Amino acid sequence: MALTSSVLHRSKLPDVGTTIFSVIGQLSAQHNAINLSQGAPNFPCDATLIDGVTRAMQQGHNQYAPMTGHQALKEVLAEKVATLYGQSYDVASEILITGSASEGIYAAIAGLVHPGDEVIFFEPAFDSYAPIIRLQGATPIALKLQLPNFTINWDALRAAITGRTRMIIINTPHNPSAQVLSHGDLVQLAAITRHTDIVVLSDEVYEHILFDGRQHHGMATSPELAQRSVIISSFGKTFHVTGWRVGYCLAPAALMEEVVKVHQFMMFAADTPMQVALADYLHIAEHYLSLSRFYQQKRDLLKQWLQDSPFRALPSAGSFFMLISYADFSDEPDNDMVRRLIVDHGVATIPLSAFYTDGTDNKLLRLSFAKDESTLQAGAQALCRVRPR
């Protein structure tokens, strides 16, 4: 029996409901559809990693980890970042292990954004940014990425900056557009933020998934931007363990101090056995350096299998997402299209309008190719059976 509460309360997020991912996931399960909607792999992680966690538990690593993270994990991360991106982060004061990238994003925004501040981000966007900004009493300012390649309009960014702009949120590789920032983009961002107190919150959870030989242009690759950036990443995305909820955050000590204050009271510390296992696993660089190759194969297969469908695949430069367009054959709202694909064709996707606060509908759907080959093929076959009408 449901409880009935007589407590009067005013919602802090009255317009926020259950995330689109849960809604589509449920509908997909209800119709037994092939689920290409959620950004979670449906294949197992490396058994070595599971053995590592098991071993860590058996060896007694079952109590609180140090508040900012397991020392060995922070050390190996510092090495990885220095080697890959050329930036040194101090293990004691500039690296934080978080309970997922989501927690890191929350802690960074809550720690650094004040009531009345403005935070600029780019849409389509990952769904957590705007609600977290609002929960701080700050104002989210959404700028639209420019189609067809979802590029940042630097003039629009320059024009949107006011005396109250406290933070700019960047995401590369980008969910949901699957585009990545270039070195030229970082040069623009550095020029725009120079001589300001703007913090860059850089969501880089797909840092190890870039295609066709592209390099990751994260904030740690720019000595200037690294000075004002909080970088967020996620082991869940890199090692196919999205359920483990472990991520990390890099920032100069003065910014990190404030992020850590929030983390301290949200999580205190991330899961200990996972951190111990990840520390060992990260010593082999191939474990993350092989990821681009692994996902590029999936991207290419999906693209090939979609060739006979009426949908047009947009280029995917990074992440494990691909957008497909149906603008050539239908002007149906994307929410209706997604529902129809689940109910009539047994395949679940995400409508791109869900990533815009104003529901912009460009007749685009997001597919995740973090799936095994048989799922990808079955999903593509279902999309090939769609007839334009």
Ligand X SMILES: Cc1ncc(COP(=O)(O)O)c(C=O)c1O
159-198 residues near ligand X, rule: CB under 6 A:
171, 175
Q: How far is the CB of 143 from ligand X (least distance, A)?
A: 17
Q: Is the CB of 220 or the CB of 386 nearer to ligand X?
A: 220
Q: Is 41 in the site for ligand X (CB under 6 A)?
A: no
Q: Is 73 in the site for ligand X (CB under 6 A)?
A: no
Q: Is 275 in the site for ligand X (CB under 6 A)?
A: no
Among 193, 234, 292, 296, binds ligand X (CB under 6 A): 234
Among 94, 203, 207, 361, binds ligand X (CB under 6 A): 203
Phi/psi of residue 166, each to 5°?
Answer: -105, -30
Q: How far is the CB of 196 from ligand X (least distance, A)?
A: 24
Contacts of 203 (CB under 8 A, 6+ apart): 101, 105, 126, 169, 170, 171, 172, 232
Q: Is the CB of 348 or the CB of 386 nearer to ligand X?
A: 348
Site string for ligand X, 108-127 (x = CB under 6 A): ------------------x-
Q: Is 210 in the site for ligand X (CB under 6 A)?
A: no
Q: Is 218 in the site for ligand X (CB under 6 A)?
A: no
Among 242, 292, 349, 353, binds ligand X (CB under 6 A): 242
Q: How far is the CB of 64 from ligand X (least distance, A)?
A: 20
Q: How far is the CB of 25 from ligand X (least distance, A)?
A: 13
Site string for ligand X, 126-145 (x = CB under 6 A): x-------------------
Among 101, 220, 250, 386, binds ligand X (CB under 6 A): 101
Quote the CA–CA distance of 350 and 352 in Å, as a whole number.
Answer: 6
Q: How far is the CB of 107 from ligand X (least distance, A)?
A: 12
The Cβ of residue 226 has, within 10 Å, a number of other Cβ atoms equal to 24
Q: Is 102 in the site for ligand X (CB under 6 A)?
A: yes
Q: Locate tokens 């979670």: which residue?
A: 40
The Cβ of residue 325 has, within 10 Å, a number of other Cβ atoms equal to 17
Contact of 107 with 259, CB cutoff 8 Å: yes
Q: How far is the CB of 171 from ligand X (least distance, A)?
A: 5
Q: Is 100 in the site for ligand X (CB under 6 A)?
A: yes
Q: How far is the CB of 101 from ligand X (least distance, A)?
A: 3
Q: Is 69 in the site for ligand X (CB under 6 A)?
A: no
Token pair of 383 as six digits: 């999309």
Q: How many residues bind ligand X (CB under 6 A)?
A: 13
Among 107, 110, 141, 205, binds ligand X (CB under 6 A): 205
Q: Is 241 in the site for ligand X (CB under 6 A)?
A: no
Q: Is the CB of 296 or the CB of 368 nearer to ligand X?
A: 368
Q: Which residues bind ligand X (CB under 6 A)?
A: 39, 100-102, 126, 171, 175, 203, 205, 234, 236, 242, 247
